[in-house]
Chain A
Amino acid sequence: MAGQGGNCLIDNDWICGEYVRTRSHELVDATLQHIGITLASVGIGLLVAFPLALAARRWRGVAGPVLGLTTVLYTVPSLAMFSLLVPVFGLSAAVVVTGLVLYSLTILVRNILAGLAAVPEEAREAARGMGYGPIRLLFGVELPLALPAVMAGVRIATVSTVSLTTVGALTGYGGLGNLIYEGLHSVFKAQVLTASVLCVLLAVVADVLLLGLQRLLTPWARKPRARRGAGRSGGAGEARPARNERKKAVA
């Protein structure tokens, strides 16, 4: 790390070990707030998206408005989204979480729908033949089979939520974004760079953890994926979200 002692703080270097040492509690607090906001947003997003997707699948009349509305919401820039929610919730974390939930809905609803639509009809027939009721069919057969697409959606939603949370600094609840915002006004370079790097790291770690979770939850999907991956150039794991996303969009 550049600089020894407090020198790099005085010189306002971009990289400063002293900053990380002396302000570690601030960094930890901001990171925890960031993780909390992300978890809450994606969690609530899933809770809202799931019934929406089921309703959209069941009734054609619901599908159009749900998909249209979530797409429109996704188009609204984050600065406007958060600002529009301020009069509703006041300056609170709820503003940021609600905005991020609304953004995640587009991705989650579409991916859940696509995942359910891709379940082979034979699997459904077989389950019905075995006497599965609609609820057991959904949770025992359809959802597990739709899991890869759903998880791809969760990964995309999580990664973009982590990066969008920073804009919440405007309302004071932006996790690491708060430090970036503060650093902008005090022209404190080390703080801005450290918080930015932590933010990107957070997104990457979350993505890798979710990928691991997906592998754990879908052991049956491992072998065919490895074979498919061998045929394609580059990391098959990395290519998955994009491919699923495309499949979903075409569906």
Chain B
Amino acid sequence: MDVVSRTWTWLATGSHWSGPDGVWHRLAEHLELTVVCLALSCAVALPLAVVLGHTGRGGALAVNLSNAGRAVPTFAVLVLLTLGPLGTYDSWPTVIALVLFAIPPLLTNAYVGMREVDRDVVEAARGMGMSGRQVIGRVELPLAMPLVMTGVRSAAVQVVATVSIAAIVGGGGLGRIITAGFRLTDTPQVVAGAVLVAALALVVEGAFVLLERWLGRRRRRGTAGADRIPGAPGADAGPVTASAA
């Protein structure tokens, strides 16, 4: 249990938290990369998933993408991009890898969510004279929201995990504390970094679970019968598609 007390000492030492190698700076880097990449991947994946889900095309794409996402090693892609021509543009390889890995859960969940909306409801909306755009905006998207959110949560956890791995190839973020610890063979630092990374991932996951619950409650209050949404919040394969990093 020596490691535990030495890890505690590491974490309790003020100098480890300040400066460019300090915890606060690494945490800021980690969060910045996470937010930027999550936003970018949402901007790419969600509109595509909504259009594909609305037209009912691309089911095979969604399934194959989620399978491929699991098979491709994150670490290998990060190293390949770093050694590639993009490697000279400092954090670009990391950003591209993160976006690539966040797309499968986002696209798959949003697509499935759109497809699982009750066909009768969609037909009814069409019968009321709604245009395709209106069907998406007022019927399909609100009903698909729980699954879309599950996808966003999976992607967020995935991105947080991948940012950590990016530290191995020279990216910033909390993972740097771990890799630096390995280089210095400083086990307390390795463990302290690992605790911080794990805590961050759990906090992000927890925050999204709470957000989903809050949205779910608000929706249920808004419309009666909305709790019969196919694939209620958290019902999807969230944990399974989540962090493969």
Interface residues of A (CB under 8 A from B): 70-72, 74-81, 83-84, 86-87, 106-107, 110, 156, 159-160, 162-167, 169-170, 177, 180-181, 183-184, 187, 189, 192-193, 195-196, 199-200, 203-204, 207, 232-235, 238-239, 241-242, 245-246, 248-250
Contacts and interface: CB of A to CB of B under 8 A. Distances in A.
A177 B169 contact: no
A135 to B, nearest CB: 29
A84 B231 CA distance: 35
A76 B80 contact: no
Given A75-B243, A180-B76, A239-B63, A84 B71 contact: no
9 contacts: A77-B161, A79-B175, A84-B198, A86-B191, A87-B3, A180-B75, A184-B83, A238-B63, A242-B108
A233 B63 CA distance: 11
Contacts of A187: 83
B75 A159 contact: no
A154 to B, nearest CB: 13
Nearest to A207: B71
B149 to A, nearest CB: 14
Contacts of B72: 163, 200, 203
A160 B168 contact: no
Which of the listed residues B82, B190, B202 has the most CB atoms from chain A within 10 Å of its own CB? Answer: B190
Contacts of B73: 162-166, 177, 180, 196, 199-200
A203 B80 contact: no
A169 B75 contact: yes
Which of the listed residues B75, B181, B182, B197 has the most CB atoms from chain A within 10 Å of its own CB? Answer: B75
Contact of B202 (A75, A232, A249): A75
Interface string B73-104: 11111011011000000000000000000000
A14 B188 CA distance: 38
Interface residues of B, number: 58
> Helix, strand, loop or mixed for chain A's interface?
helix
Contacts of B182: 83, 170
A87 B79 contact: no
Contacts of B227: none
A207 B72 CA distance: 13
A195 B76 contact: yes
Contacts of B231: 250
A200 to B, nearest CB: 6
Nearest to A79: B164
A195 B77 CA distance: 11
Given A83-B193, A233-B60, A76 B76 contact: no
Interface string B174-199: 01001101100001001101110110
Contacts of B191: 83-84, 86-87
A249 B59 contact: no
Contacts of A169: 75
B242 A77 contact: no
A196 B81 CA distance: 12
Contacts of B49: none
A199 B76 contact: yes
Contact of B237 (A238, A239, A246): A246
A83 B195 CA distance: 9
Given A163-B71, A167-B75, A246-B236, A78 B169 contact: no
Given A70-B239, A162-B71, A249-B236, 17 more contacts: A76-B201, A77-B164, A77-B197, A80-B193, A80-B194, A83-B191, A83-B193, A159-B67, A164-B73, A180-B76, A184-B79, A193-B80, A203-B71, A234-B63, A238-B60, A238-B63, A239-B60
B145 interface: no
Contact of B169 (A77, A87, A184): A184
B205 interface: yes
Given A110-B240, A156-B240, A246-B112, A77 B201 contact: yes
